[in-house]
Chains A and B, each alone.
Chain A
Amino acid sequence: MNYRMISYYIGRILLIEAFLLIFPAVGSLVYGDGTLLSFAVTIGALTLTGMLAVRKKPEKASIYAKEGYVIVALTWILMSLFGALPFYISGHIPSFTDAFFETVSGFTTTGSTILRSVEALPKSLLFWRSFTHWIGGMGILVFVIAIMPKAESSSMHVMRAEVPGPTVGKLVSKLRASARILYGIYCVMTAIQIIMLFAGGMPLFDSIVNAFATAGTGGFGVLNNSIEGYNSVYSEMVIAVFMLLFGVNFNLYYMFLVRQGKQAIKSEELRWYIGIVAGSTLLIAVSLFTSTSNDVADSFRLAFFQVSSIITTTGFSTANFNTWPVISKFTLVFLMFIGACAGSTGGGIKVSRLVILVKSGLRDIKKAINPRSIETVKIDKRTVEEPVVKSVSVFFATYMLVIAVSVLAVSIDGFNLETTTTAVIACMSNIGPGMGAVGPYGNFADFSILSKLVLSFDMLAGRLELIPMLMLFSPYAWAKKYS
């Protein structure tokens, strides 16, 4: 394990976080909301730590897969620890565990909050909260690769550990160019959304913050009752559509840019994604229409927004779905597991993994009927390599196992089954609100410190797709005899 290179790499990222914190610091200067000092202290602490780490470039600059995972995991933990300082120092979140939970929830684009009243927070902190979504959505290390003067070829290990999905491909041959294209698309889409929200009459500050939360598929809002509070069908629809757009694999947008749109539309993952969204919307809309007082249009509007918000793992709400019929709630729980497309900013298991799971399951049934038959799992008419198929099954099993263990740990707090289970699922899949006490009108404030730490771990594990976080706590990774 190349410790010096790991600390060098992380040092650079902390310096970048210090730079990013300048934006909310300027905001606090503009609004004069008294948080400037806390931002200044945080920037100072980050700069000092970062400078210490990058003071000397290590002679041995080689990074392998293992270092890549460790860098990613440690980066996300350290970024959250430092990112929590402004909340804690300014006194708006008096407990450091709470502040840490809130920041992890931000960076991992979860959107679970421990705040009972969001509106009580000063604007600069609100901005920082949603800005973490935007940073975490596409990934801080991808950002680092994009701005680095010269990409080390080993950076691929880092990118692979951070970008979600069963396989990671580059858009163009140079890693740095690929990262820049991804961030370019991301920035342009965010800007368009800000403009569209602002044009619809939302205040500028709210437009920016909500667009950040949508782009990262995070879900931190400005109002206590999320998007419902704006009472604007236009804003709801803009946000719903953009949530769906940010849940699509970004590689497809690049294919549109280089005029391969036809191929992009044929993407099997995209078709499944649209199919799942359409089916779930219909199901929920019908159940809402038959068992509540909503008319057809309202049923569809509420259903579409909520499906879009949950499958992309954003977690905005326009209604208290806690009170919806059981069939609707269960549909939403299913969507929580599935999540968005690979290579998007969303969380969850990812649609492409679901497709592979379903197809390999069907194949195994066929094989049971005719044991001599040989068949491969194909996506987009291409065979998925057998190790990938296997890793998807293992991923799914591990995902469930981590959820089960976490539910057990959180259940010590004595909440009911619904609250406990959905709290863990919502954190693991980076959604935000769950059901019951952690529903759209609830929050995570009442959990114990242990539960909050377990849930923070789940959020990071879910965002980084298990392996980096699990590896960090595995003795194999650190034992000399295995390195």
Chain B
Amino acid sequence: MTLLKRGLSRRRVLQTGMAGIVGTGVAPLMFTKGAWAQEFCNNPTGDTITIGLNVPLTGAYAEEGADELRAYELAVKHLNGEGDGGLLNVLQPSALKGNGILGKKVAFVTSDSQTKADVARAGATRMIERDGALMITGGSSSGVAVAVQGLCQEMGVLFMAGLTHSNDTTGKDKKRYGFRHFFNAYQSGVALGPVLGQEYGKDRKAYHLTADYTWGWTQEESMKNATEALGWETVAAVRTPLGAGDFSQFLTPVLNSGADVLILNHYGNDMINSLTQAVQFGMRDREVNGKQFQIVVPLFSELMAKGAGANIKGIFGTSNWHWNLQDAGTKAFTKSFGAEYGAPPSQAAHTCYVQTLLYADACERAGTFYPPEVIKALEGHEFDGMGNGPTLYRAADHQCMKSVLVVRGNENPTSEYDVLNVVQEVSRDAVDYDPAIFGGDLGPAEPVPMC
């Protein structure tokens, strides 16, 4: 009232105020939902955002890497409103509009991680610092995932892990900026154990050959726990170098060890080579301790099964997802991927595609690319329609909790892709566990480190 008495009319106050608002550039923010003043690494200013794809195109996991790359390209296409939309049509709930993310077109840069942690970190650093990547994603080695996840935490960039199965990724090495959709070794053991007990009995002697890095160690530990709980004896657990190629020197001792089950804690080309060579050694034709000798591959993929050919028939393992499931999400993704590339997607491709969509959806729901808000949108998020049934992104460790598939090499394949049968879908509740058992600390989301 005093101001008005001095000759400043209400109209003058409003005019001055509006001029000040417009002049200081605050106006656009007033009308933008969730606009954050904070600066963060690679805060996008143009009409495009860039994501960094860190996949192994060479090395022991190159087949998975190539399929992951195909899936990312498809996900970007769908996010940008091209193609048939894929899983955008079935994700529930969904904030995705098919016009990019928050109205910005999605672009990507790639780096060959070579399945080597140091190369992967260098590639991720380059994509963040030089190419302005806002989010890093990729697989297929847990050693690589743990290394890149740590880097992303330091740089304040979100890491949406591709195929990584070690307990450590969301266990002792978990990070606030890292999220994993793929299941883990502990869940493989819990899902597979009862099926093995039912098929092969309680009195078995197991010999482990294990890839000598974080994934192999946790896979071996989880399978030991699961099989020893059944009453099986662990005869030996032998570590093999990643990419060993010729496993004959590791397989020969199995023959006279008294073991009647060989558990191959190998993945990718290592698994193809070790399984093929084990079959060449006549292991599947042997009888030991009065029982038929068996081989178990705890983590299976369609690409590995295809590479191993007939050797895979009848062998048990677990999978995160399989293209011949009959839910709407799986059908939509298989149709989209198959039409684009002429082959069904692998579980590696599926998890990478889903991770890209989940990141985009979280940004839309948060209304910003500001990482701490995107993290909040992902933590504790419940969704469905992505092919794994109802799924929870657990806030305590950033592990997706969902059902796990027990699969078996198809005895009578009808096509080159029909290599695995889903034996059992183990429910989310059955593979649930206390996140505290693996220790680790997520660390803070804020203050956001600047890259």
Task: Tell whether A pairs with B.
Answer: no
